[in-house]
């Protein structure tokens, strides 16, 4: 999206606290969300020298007609960045470790 490596998968593992897993489940789930184009309107919300805030909306996979979830992440530079903060409007998204946030972060690796 930015023409550079904004973040790499290792930083996502660290954020999700699963650095010990060889085949983390988030990679499969994030891939499914991205392939089914459930993530939309990804854009930069704010940016300064050290941080970049990114927001996207994610259609609910199991309830596509309901309001989509809003996902926010703040990354800490330099690039490839680290995840400083994350939040999603889904029930499990308070710490930004849900599948929607994972999909957004995965999107930013491409």
- Residues in contact with Zn ion by the rule CB under 5 A: 69, 88, 90, 93, 98, 100
Neighbours of 58 (CB within 10 A): 25
CB of 76 to Zn ion, least distance (A): 21
Alpha-carbon Rg for the chain, nearest whole angstrom, is: 13
The number of CA neighbours under 13 Å toward the Cβ of 85 is 7
Burial of 90 per CB tally in 10 Å (0-12, 13-18, 19+): middle
Q: How far is the CB of 96 from Zn ion (least distance, A)?
A: 8
Nearest distance, CB of residue 29 and Zn ion, angstroms = 11
Q: Which is nearer to Zn ion, 70 or 109 (CB)?
A: 70
Q: Which is nearer to Zn ion, 11 or 100 (CB)?
A: 100
Q: Which is nearer to Zn ion, 89 or 109 (CB)?
A: 89
């Amino acid at each position: 999206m930015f023409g550079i490596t904004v973040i790499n998968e290792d930083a996502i593992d660290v954020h999700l606290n699963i650095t010990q897993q060889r085949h983390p489940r988030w990679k499969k789930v994030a891939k499914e969300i991205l392939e089914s184009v459930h993530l939309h309107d990804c854009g930069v919300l704010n940016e300064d020298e050290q941080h970049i805030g990114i927001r996207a909306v994610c259609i609910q996979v199991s309830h596509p007609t309901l309001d989509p979830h809003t996902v926010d992440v703040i990354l800490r530079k330099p690039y490839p960045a680290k995840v400083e903060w994350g939040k999603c409007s889904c029930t499990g998204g308070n710490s930004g470790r849900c599948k929607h946030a994972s999909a957004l972060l995965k999107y930013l690796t491409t």
